[in-house]
Chain A
Amino acid sequence: MSATLDGVTMSEVTVGGVTRAEYCVIACAEAWRGDGEVLASPMGPIPSTGARLARRTFSPELLLTDGEALLVGPDGAPEGWLPYRQHLALVTGGRRHVMMGASQIDRFGNQNISCVGDWEQPTRQLLGVRGGPVNTVNNPVSYWVPRHSARVFVEKVDMIGGVGYDSAAAAGPTATRFHRIPRVVSNLGVFDFATEDHAMRLASLHPGVTVEDVVAATGFELVIPDDGVPYTREPSPAELELIREDLDPKGLRDREVRG
């Protein structure tokens, strides 16, 4: 199968044979474990591969779209219709787990894809808040950051689109009732908010990354567990084959995360 050969050739194979991008796919897939029959809404190639991997393996009940208006099964055949208007309504019903991008994210999970600098006249206009506000107070929202740096992981975001734990708490029960940020995945590791004050915690390191690497690339004080940080789990041979041969044979994951 030439697709297999191409897939492997294009991957930057590490010592263990698993690339960093493949660990990222596994870490994203794990976000949807145990979610049951909900819509998985991944943004970007690696979260998308992760969501489809989860459905093909340990979370078969997940629903996925074609990125437009159709719900599609694992073979790509439509199983339902989900135009934007229904998608926005489904968000408020809560049966969804989205993984959004983040141009900035802070230690309590406030997220920004709107603009950098002063909102009145930004130094860099980005997308706008999009669905960040509606997503974060209605259904679980995880985040994906392909290039972990202190410019992304900041002390305070310039414009809160995605609501973090401190902002939700300050806003009261309407904001906290359905608010949950299960995880943040970056090219360096996995992060969560399983701390007393919901400050971001280093949950796992991708193999080849050190705690020092992560600390150096983070613009705020991360919670580092005293009893050591585990590594992101290894993909099974069957998962690797699925990723490389079926889900991402062209190796789009390697364009998002190198090495």
Chain B
Amino acid sequence: MGDKTMTADEAVSRLESGMTLGIGGWGSRRKPMALVRALLRTAITDLTVVSYGGPDVGMLAAAGRIRKLVAPFATLDSIPLEPHYRTARESGSLELMEIDEAMFMWGLRASANRLPFLPVRAGIGSDVMRVNPGLRTVTSPYEDESTGVRETFVAMPALRLDAALVHLNRADHAGNGQYLGPDPYFDDLFCEAARTAYVSCERIVDTAELTKAAPPQTLLVKRLNVSGVVEAPGGAHFTSCVPDHDRDEGFQRLYASMPWPEFAGRFLAGDEQAYRTAVRAWHEEQS
């Protein structure tokens, strides 16, 4: 088994402008923020971002890196509206494919299964069809047994990804990834739907260590879907990564209220170590 460990900077150096990038987690939950911060340190731009949106979308939008967003929402959870996403939308600087949460999941599934589309009921009758004129429908070849009707569904196109970025609690050096919180979100699907995937984690451990205290069904991501493993303790900060750490609500409030140039200047000007030092200093000021 090859050793796939690398730094966050090495991982993002393999990405290119114009790529379609899937970002795991959900809202402000277990987002691969250290990888997003590393991405912000590069000149990579013109991205199509596919995400159950949170501050990952907000930061990349604020930095002008997103050409097109594919998402059912963008939220900070405890703060309902993502401020930088709002600004981007209200200034018209973002192309958006707005789809339903379930359509999004089936789009990833179609890609993971190498299908061009999957039929879904969701979307029919809603303005998702109006704002996405490229969405097509598909009619069942079978008559419904009870109604005799051949129903027409949305043909949700595969959400094919050039690369996926996800953050998990543990991984081994080969790329077997483990979640230890209550929800896997869709991180395995993001990796399966992508040509390449980069997994950051709180801690890289020996393979045997993964199942010493946790059951095998916590092993969410398989190494055959992973190109790189990054050890990034606190790598989801300021989003939650239970049980390793909760969301940093105080810092999230700061992110949501501080003007972006000021926030970026104070916290994102240096490397990940500098970020952590700046966050610690801010917390000390608050106490």
Give A contacts to B, CB under 8 Å.
68-70, 81, 83-85, 88, 91-92, 114-115, 119-134, 136-138, 159-163, 167-168, 170-175, 177-179
Contact = CB atoms under 8 A, between A and B. Distances in A.
Given A122-B89, A133-B123, A137-B125, 13 more contacts: A69-B183, A92-B102, A122-B90, A125-B90, A127-B74, A127-B75, A129-B127, A131-B72, A134-B122, A159-B131, A163-B125, A175-B124, A177-B147
Highest count of chain A CB atoms <10 Å: which of B75, B85, B125, B185: B125
Highest count of chain A CB atoms <10 Å: which of B71, B92, B127, B153: B127
Interface in B99-144: 99-103, 105, 120-128, 130-131
Nearest to A127: B73
Contact of A68 (B73, B85, B92, B183): B183
B286 to A, nearest CB: 25
B90 A168 contact: no
Contacts of A121: 89-92
Contacts, number: 141
Contacts of B100: 129-134, 161
Contact of B98 (A114, A138, A168): A114
20 contacts: A83-B182, A84-B186, A119-B131, A128-B71, A128-B72, A130-B101, A131-B72, A133-B123, A133-B124, A133-B125, A134-B100, A136-B126, A138-B121, A159-B127, A159-B131, A167-B125, A170-B125, A172-B152, A174-B153, A175-B125
Given A127-B73, A129-B72, A129-B73, A171 B125 contact: yes
B63 interface: no
A56 to B, nearest CB: 24
Q: Is the interface of B mostly helix, strand, loop or mixed?
A: loop
Contact of A130 (B72, B130, B186): B72
A252 to B, nearest CB: 15
Interface of B: 26, 53, 71-75, 80-81, 85-86, 89-92, 98-103, 105, 120-128, 130-131, 147, 149, 151-153, 182-186
A123 B123 contact: no
A174 B105 contact: no
A168 B125 contact: yes
Contacts of A92: 102, 121-122
B154 to A, nearest CB: 9
A99 to B, nearest CB: 17
Contact of B85 (A85, A125, A137, A168): A125
A91 B102 CA distance: 9
Given A128-B73, A132-B126, A160-B127, A173 B90 contact: no
A92 to B, nearest CB: 7
A173 B147 CA distance: 9
Contacts of A163: 124-126
B131 A68 contact: no
Contacts of A159: 127, 131
B80 A127 contact: yes
A193 B42 CA distance: 54
A159 B80 CA distance: 18
A91 B183 CA distance: 17
Contact of A134 (B53, B81, B103, B186): B103
A127 B128 CA distance: 14
A90 to B, nearest CB: 10
A139 to B, nearest CB: 11
A142 to B, nearest CB: 17
Nearest to B150: A173
Contacts of B91: 121
Contacts of B147: 173, 177
Contacts of B26: 84
Given A121-B90, A129-B73, A170-B125, A134 B153 contact: no
B121 A134 contact: yes
A134 B149 contact: no
Contacts of A172: 124, 152
B189 to A, nearest CB: 8
Contacts of B85: 125
Highest count of chain B CB atoms <10 Å: which of A122, A129, A130, A159: A129
B89 A85 contact: no
Contacts of A69: 182-183
B211 to A, nearest CB: 19
B217 to A, nearest CB: 10
Nearest to B186: A85
Contact of A173 (B73, B89, B102, B151): B151
B143 to A, nearest CB: 12
Contacts of A68: 182-183
Contacts of A122: 89-90
Nearest to A119: B131
Highest count of chain B CB atoms <10 Å: which of A85, A134, A172, A177: A134
A137 B73 contact: no
Highest count of chain A CB atoms <10 Å: which of B73, B75, B99: B73
Nearest to A81: B182
